[in-house]
Structure formats: C-alpha cells, structure tokens
Structure 1
C-alpha cells in the first residue's frame, strides 16, 4: 500500500470517473487504474463498484476513503515540517474569500503580501461560506477568509478584524434624518437584502430578528451584489446595511446616506479559517500578519457586538 495509491483512490471517489481522476492526478488512466487494482488485490476487497454509472464506492470503500483522507493529509504534514524547519514560506496556496469581503479586503493586502512573500503562489477564488467549508473539508482549499464564528468542529478560526454594519438610508426614507440609529429602528420589511447564499444576508436577518420575529418570505427584493443594493436604495426602494469597508470608497454624494449605529455597533467577525489538520500553517500565519497589520489602519472600532453569520441564528456574541 502506498500514499500514491490512496491519493488515486481519493481522486476517483471525488470525480466518480477514472478518466477524470487520472487527468486531475496528471497520470494516464491505465496507470491510475492499475495502481487502484493493485491496492484492491492487496486488501482483497473492492473499493469501487464499477458497474454503477457514475462509479460508486462500496460500503467498505467509503470507510477506506475516510481513512485515506487522514493518511494523505498527514503525509503532507511531513513536507510542512521540513519547510518550517528551513524557514521556507512558499509554494502553492489555495485561498477562498467570501463575496462580501473579496472586493474590499483583497486590494488592501494582496500587493503587500506578494511583495513580502514572492515564493508563495496564491490561487484565490471567490466562494460562498458553504462552498468554502465543503472545499476545506475535501482538501481543495488551504484556507479561506470568511465571517465567523462558524461553529464547525473540523475548522479552526483566527480572527482578523471586526467590521461594523453601516446603514445606507436614502433621503426619502423615514430614518434618513436620524443621526445615529439603533437596531430597534430597523424594520425588516423595507430592508434590501443580498440574495440567498450570502452570509452577510444571514447576518442582517439575524440582527433584525434579535428584536423582531420575521420570516424570510417578508423580503420582496434581493440582489447578488452590494453595489446593486445601493443603486436600488437610491431609487427609493428601501434601505440596506453595508459592511464598513464597502463605505470607504463611496462617492461623497452616496456617503451622505450613511448612518452609523449607536455603540456597541453591530458587526461581523472576519477570520482566516483552515482545517483542523493545520497544514501550511507558516503561510496562514503570514497571511494573518499581513492582513492584521494593514486592517488596523482602516478599522479602529472596538466597541461592537458580533452578529452570527449562520442562518436562523439569533444569538449575539459580545466583544
């Protein structure tokens, strides 16, 4: 039994196809098939039911795949140990970022990080929180930047910053004349939301539900981007809530519609998250240091209440 054989098994289990798995592993399909066949012969069992289309794991195959994930991950740790011993920070690193963080945070730190760690090849992808959790658990992401806490036993979190919610209230709205607003002022029925799948949407719903009991069907107008929400609000279709960093580069005209909350301000907690196996920690720590150093100059808020990013959660965590 070899680690390479287990790696091939994981590839077939994921792709449910020998040809696609071989392409992902950069080997020929006969080579991959032969190695898996050797492993099955050695163990005297079938890992895959080849009669099914697409290919499926047998019952014992499912157990083998779960164990193979642990073994392959632990094998990667050996290289990590060597890299850390040598003080090497480099190699390929796959990073996921949620859509409401990507456009504001990435331009702030990317150039600095690349300059400081030129041997790291960052592969960055915009993903929802659910996609991020799935890919971290499957080993397809090394880390991600997302709103937390996620309360996932397989994922560890390191807080980067707290980002307050800011209300965007157009001139024709009942709250526009209010200097600072309270969460009790919010009415869910005139709130413009991001579409389902965005954790910032869930945070806004949780914030409103702290004081009011509403259901999702109250919402009539939803969008896939924060910029669209601002435009819709300017058309008099309702108010919306924005992450603080999205307000920094606004036009002066739009900034006139911004209203801050009374303290403690509702906020989201943004963290770098990664699998509990803690692979590539030297790069994760480097990212944390660079981002934390840059963000301190942009966000100075401390007196905040952290709103859960999880759907249907109403609890509020105090900082």
Structure 2
C-alpha cells in the first residue's frame, strides 16, 4: 500500500513539525486534544488503523492486541522503551513493532547528571529556601551538601544512556562503576575508567551515588527493593531516569524517611502520573515530571524516526528500528 494511503493513528500530540510531516505523508489521524486515549478508544484505533503510533503512556497488552483489526500491521512507538507493549503478542499476530532508540540518549543523560549534581549539593533545597523567603544570610554550616569529585558512582545498566551518564560523571571527577548483564568490553571500560561489578548487591554496598539506567522488564521489576536499599550506605543517593517500576517506591520512601538513605532524584515513577505521597515534600528528594527526553530537538528527532520506520515499512522493507522480542 502506498504510504499516502496508510491510515496512521497517533495517540498523543507530537511536535508540530512532526505532525505536519505526518499529514503530508500519510492519512494521519492526530490527537489535537492531547488527552490520553482510554483502553476502549485504543481498541477502536487498533481496529481501524493500518499503523498505530502510541507513546509510553499507552498500555497495549495481550488482551488489547487480540482486539486489533487484520489491517493493523505496524505499531510505531514514539519512544525508546517498549515496556508498555506486549511485543511478543504483537509479533504472534504478524504486527511489527518499532521504537525510537538513540535520539534521546544525551537529553536523558543530561537530566540524570543534573540530578547527580543537584541532590548531593542540595540545589533544589536552595531554590525552595529562596522562593519561600527563608534565607537569613550565610553561615559556616549553612546548606552543607556532599562533594562529588572522588565519590563512587554506580550505574545500573551500561547501555547508550548509562555510558553517556558515565562520560558526564567522569568529567566531574566521579569514579565510575557499573553493573550490567555483561561487561561492555575493555575499550569502553578503559575510555570511561569504569569498573564492572558482576554482583549488584556488592556494588550497591560500596557506592556513594547510584544511577538507574536499565530498561523495565520482568527481570528488573523492583530490582531496587527494600533488601537492596538496606545494602546501601546511609550517606548514599539514588537517581532514576529509566523506568519507575525498577524501584519499589514504597521501600524507597521508608529508607529515606528512616535515614538509612541520604536522598533520591526521580524523573520516573512506578504508577505515573501518580507519585507515592510518602516521597512528596521531602527536602532530600528531587522529583521531576518525566522530562528526561523533553527537548525540542530530541522529541522532533523521535518523531522523524517514527516517520522513517513507517515509510520504510510501507515500502516493503524492514524498518530500521524493529523491536525483536528475543532481545528485550
């Protein structure tokens, strides 16, 4: 089928340049209101569309996939993670799934590094003090945080984003350590001066700061739980820009409130957009509204990748960013 004839349903509002290009190339049905589709609305879209363009906020499980029409052949995710999609179920039904990897690496790593700086140095607390008029003048012990240089940073997940975080952290004098399914290899380790830990438990016990950069899979759900949080030093911090489900938020709140963990920076949450109320209002917890990839450049490039995947598929070729269940 020619690309111009493809009925493409987009579930959320995208950057205007991306939407304009989609309307030029496809029979695009856009979500001008930007209100998330209900499960029933998603099912209706999947019954009529040739291509569905969802985002991470759209839960497409096996039950929803079973309601898809025969004409649906491509789910072109606007985002790198695909934990919201039952990819195996899609493939069984002959539906190709694509994503948009790579383009949000630097943007997400920037936010991770910003929180690695902000939380130990208490920068967000300083902003709150100034905004509430509570600054009464400098004293020798005022707002003391922790120095970064020389501290150990433990990165969980040394993929594109994990390596980008490591490069930034190395420039600030942090010692780089990491846990991954397997070592990244001597060339990358030497460039980052990074130390590999086969045991996550042993790494957590030694780190001053931990950055979570792994995907959410069944194996990583609540990877950071109460037992593992108890292994960390009481003066340690944890940063999460990956997926909220990787950390047990209730356990994290208990650890911070009890003083067994120094603080946290979170850009993602277990039940977005809800946030565990026990984490809200804590001075040593920095909460951001899932803005790791929120740059004009990054979101536009994500949209361009979606378009390339759709066009390539329409031309009868394998999309460049096809997701394969076996490697998830």
Same fold (TM over 0.5): no
Q: Which one has the largest radius of gyration?
A: 1
Q: Compute the TM-score of the two structures, normalised by the length of structure 1.
A: 0.30
TM-score by length of 2: 0.29
Structure number with the bigger relative contact order (C-alpha 8 A, sep ≥ 6) is: 1
